[in-house]
Structure 1
């Protein structure tokens, strides 16, 4: 089974070594053909623009779609971002690719880098991320598209608060990536028949 993961820096693994990124950890753990097409700073518009080249041309069985955080940082409304995610899912269906939606983790408002906090209101971003999550959950339900809720699951795993999993308030540190890998692995084991024999 081939999986292409399209997204932004949370998919790419900004700030950690390649071998510590959650996608690499999943690939190593499962032996699956998982291709990382995350781009730092990308938006859902950018993901739509490059879908044919970065996803369809690879002919995967599954595309994992996770984006929207950068859109919200740039004050794009959650409804617009959800619409772009829905468009990505429709493109996948047209190419006979199974889409899976990733719900991005929250931001750690108190620890966002000062230079980033200068150009965006991250309290508002956190509020918009919560609304965006609800919109994605609703879309998933009405469209029968499976999802991985990193937003909720990371909060469950963060025993001492989500701050311990970030190095700059937005991006995961090595511990955060290990937890993301665990969350995605559990999803694969419970939802993907081809993975049922993977230990």
Structure 2
């Protein structure tokens, strides 16, 4: 515009102003949406400890949701992820594990020889057993730190802590940020209470586990990038 004559500037304004007015709201909405999605992405992808990892093994560590209770063989979310990425994923899930039990079990596992990425999904049994929130997240913090000490990048999956209000969501997010773990919030969001997606009150069915795999896939894809 700095190189246009005054006459050409007027012609330019007359030619394009109607289009600008006509599509103003479309442009504005698109701009706002772009900013929103950018910061949403940025908020869930901060600096990740041990990324990229030099390990070789992908491990899923957690409770019955990792085991895949409620699914048919091969349709738990861990198996679905292994199939999608064409890579073995060691399933180190134990049904009923609280964070304290998982922490004790972590010390005795012999699978952390060359971990690349460890998916951690715990906390649901703590909530069901009314274990104090602070104890739950202290245990989770220790679990994440110990896994990171083996050189692995951690992918923390959140679960809901409450029926009406979720007392876990902010705690999970803050923990992931503080310890530099990748994070997927509340993997059961949209599943709980939906009989078409759940096999019982707390475990998904095949459809539900596929949704969990869909939520985890884009973040895990980044972590597996060389």
Name the TM-score, length of structure 2 as normaliser: 0.68
- State how 1:71-86 maps to structure 2 within 5 Å: 71-86=126-141
Q: Deviation of residue 22 (structure 1)?
A: 0.9
What is the match of residue 3 of structure 1? 58
1:136 aligned residue (172, 189, 198): 172
After superposition, the Cα gap between the structure-2 partners of 1:140 and 1:163, relative to the gap in structure 1 and judged at 3 Å, is same
Structure 1 contact 79–132 (Cα < 8 Å) conserved: no
1:26 aligns with 2:81: yes
Q: Deviation of residue 164 (structure 1)?
A: 2.6
Q: Deviation of residue 35 (structure 1)?
A: 0.8
Q: Deviation of residue 93 (structure 1)?
A: 2.0
1:15 aligns with 2:70: yes
What is the match of residue 213 of structure 2? 181
Distance 1:33 1:55 in 2: 17
1:166 aligns with 2:207: no
Q: Which runs of 5+ in 2 are unaligned?
A: 1-55
Q: Deviation of residue 17 (structure 1)?
A: 2.1
Distance 1:89 1:180 in 2: 21
Answer with 48-57 or 172-181: which moved more: 48-57
User: Can you list the C-alpha shifts for 1:35-92, whole angstroms capped at 9, x where unaligned?
Assistant: 1111111111111111133365443112111101111111112221111110001101
1:61 aligns with 2:116: yes
Structure 2 contact 120–155 (Cα < 8 Å) conserved: yes
Stretches of 4+ aligned residues off by more than 6 angstroms: none
The 3-state SS of whatever aligns with 1:5 is strand
Distance 1:7 1:57 in 2: 14
1:126 aligns with 2:126: no
Structure 1 contact 62–97 (Cα < 8 Å) conserved: yes
Q: Which runs of 5+ in 1 are unaligned?
A: 107-123, 195-199
After superposition, the Cα gap between the structure-2 partners of 1:189 and 1:99, relative to the gap in structure 1 and judged at 3 Å, is closer
User: Can you list the C-alpha shifts for 1:75-128, whole angstroms capped at 9, x where unaligned?
Assistant: 112221111110001101222222221102x4xxxxxxxxxxxxxxxxx84357
What is the match of residue 48 of structure 1? 103
User: Can you list the C-alpha shifts for 1:164-189, whole angstroms capped at 9, x where unaligned?
Assistant: 31121100011001111111112223
Distance 2:137 2:152 in 1: 19
Aligned Cα root-mean-square deviation (Å): 2.3
User: Can you list the C-alpha shifts for 1:126-154, whole angstroms capped at 9, x where unaligned?
Assistant: 357x11121011111222211122447x4
